[in-house]
Amino acid sequence: MRLNWAGNVRFSTDRLLVPRSVDELCALLSGSGSGSGAGGRPPGRLEGRLHCLGTGHSFSDVADAEGTQISVAQLPHRIEVDAAVPAVTVSAGLRWGDLGPVLHGAGFALHTLGSLPHISVAGSCATGTHGSGERARCLAAAVRELELVTASGEVTTVRRGDPDFAGHVVALGALGVVTAVTLDVEPTYDVRQTVFERLPWEVAIDQLDAVLGCADSVSLFTTWRGDAVEQVWVKQRTPPGDPGKPVDLAWTGAVPADGPRHPIPGISAQWCTEQLGRPGPWYARLPHFRLEFTPSSGEELQTEYLVPRELAAQALTAVRELRERVSPLLQITELRTVAADDLWLSPAYRRDALAVHFTWVPDTAAVLPVVAEVERALRPFGARPHWGKVFTTGAEELSGLYPRLPDFRALVARLDPEGRFRNAFLERTVLTG
C-alpha cells in the first residue's frame, strides 16, 4: 500500500502512472494515439476514477484515487521567463525550491512562498496553500494562466479574465490534470530573517495587529503552554545589497534568539533557512525549511483553519481555552496572516485571514477528537479548513463558508461530466449539496 510522505495517508490504489509528455497524458485519458503509455504499454483509455498526485505532502485524502493516480513529476521540465509581462511559465510538477534560484538569477521573484520549498507548484496552488504576510495572498493568487488536460484528453488553456478562471485555480484536482502554470513575478529582492523569543501572550493578544504587521512575513510559534508565545519569526524584505534597518520587538518584551532555532522545541535548526538577521535571496529566506533537507519533524498530522483577520484575537482566545486538551498532542502551532483573494475555493476568498496551523503527534485516534473540539471553538468565527490538512468539517458547513461552491459544482459538471476525477474527498466536501 502506497503512503504519502508523512505516512499518514494510505492511498486507495497502488496504480500510479507517470506520463513523460503531455501527448502521452492526453492519450492515456482519451485512448487515442499510437505512442507507448507509461511503462511501455499501449495507452488505451484509462478506466475508472483518476486523480492527480502532486508531491504527496497533503495530510487529507484530497489527492487520493480509487482507480489510478497520475503524477506530472516527469513531464518535460519548463521554466520560461517572460520579462516583458513579467511572468514565468513552469511545468506543473516543478518544486518551488527548484524555481527560486532560476527566477532570482533572471532578476525576478515571487510575491510569497510557503514554509516548504519541497512542494509542487500545481499541487500547492490547487489546495490554496499559502505563505505569511498581511499583503501576501496565497500562492495560487499569482497564477495568471493554467494549461489543463481535461477528462476527454483535450488540452485547454485558461487565463486570468476568462469566465470561471477563479474557479479553475484552487480546484482540488476536480477539473483535470494541470500540466503547466504561468505565474506573476516581480523584481527580485532580499529578505532578512530574525527569530524572537518569549512574546508575552497578553501582548500578543492586545497588540496582535502590530506584531503581525511588523514585517513583510511574520509567524508566531506556540505550544499554548505557559504565558508566552515561544517564537516570533520575522522576515523583512530589503533591496538587493541594502540590509536596511532590522525590526526591533523590544517594545513587546520579546528578545532576539541567541542562535538559530527550529519551530519545534528540541529539534536541530540545521534543517531551517538562515536566521540571525543576515539578508539573503527571497527564495532562501521566505520558506522555513531548506530544500536539501527533509522538512519539519517527520511523521505527524497537520490541521489548519483560516479565520477572518478582524476576529483573530477572539479566535486565539477561544483556542487558548482548549490548551489543556491541545498541548499534550501538539508538536507546534503556527500563526500566520494571509491576504484576501478572489479564488472561489481559496480559504482566504474575499477576506483577509489569520491562519491557525497545528502540527500534531502522529496518533490519529487521539488527535481527531481534539481536532473536532478546535473546530467547534472556531466555528463562531467562520473558520475555513485548509483542503490539504486533516479536518472534520462537513459538506453542509463548508457550503455556508464558500459562497461560490454552487458555481464550482457547475464547472465540475461541465468539464468532467462522467465524474472521472471525482474521489471520496471531493464527494465528502465540495460536490455534495
HSE, CB side, 13 Å, CA atoms: give it for residue 259: 3
> pLDDT per residue over 335-348, tens digit each?
999 999 999 999 99
Question: Given the DSSP bridges, would you call strands 301-308 and 353-360 parallel, antiparallel or unpaired?
Answer: antiparallel
Which neighbouring-strand residues pair with 180? 91, 147
Q: Give me the residue spans of the domains in the chain.
A: 190-281+298-392
State the pTM of this model.
Answer: 0.94
Q: Using alpha carbons, select from 347, 309, 386, 380 the residue that is nearest to residue 133.
A: 309
- Which candidate, 76, 70, 74, 77, places its Cα nearest to that of 56? 70
Q: In the predicted model, is pLDDT for residue 38 greater than 70? A: no
pLDDT tens across 198-238, in order?
999 999 999 999 999 999 999 999 999 999 999 999 999 98
Amino acid at 386: H
Q: Which residues, at least 6 apart from 347, have a Cβ–Cβ distance to it below 8 Å?
A: 128, 130, 138, 306, 338, 353, 355, 384, 385, 386, 387
Mean pLDDT of 305-313: 98
Q: Which residues have a Cβ under 8 Å from the Cβ of 118 and sit 6 or more positions away?
A: 55, 57, 95, 96, 97, 289, 291, 295
pLDDT tier, 294 (very low <50, low <70, confident <90, very high otherwise): low
Kindly tell me if the per-residue pLDDT of 4 is higher than 70: no
Protein fold of 190-281+298-392: Alpha-Beta Plaits (3.30.70)
Q: What is the pLDDT of residue 334?
A: 98
- The Cα–Cα gap between 107 and 82 comes to 11
Residue whose C-alpha cell reads 525550491 in the numeric block: 97
164 exposed, middle or buried (CB, 10 Å; 0-12, 13-18, 19+)? Answer: middle
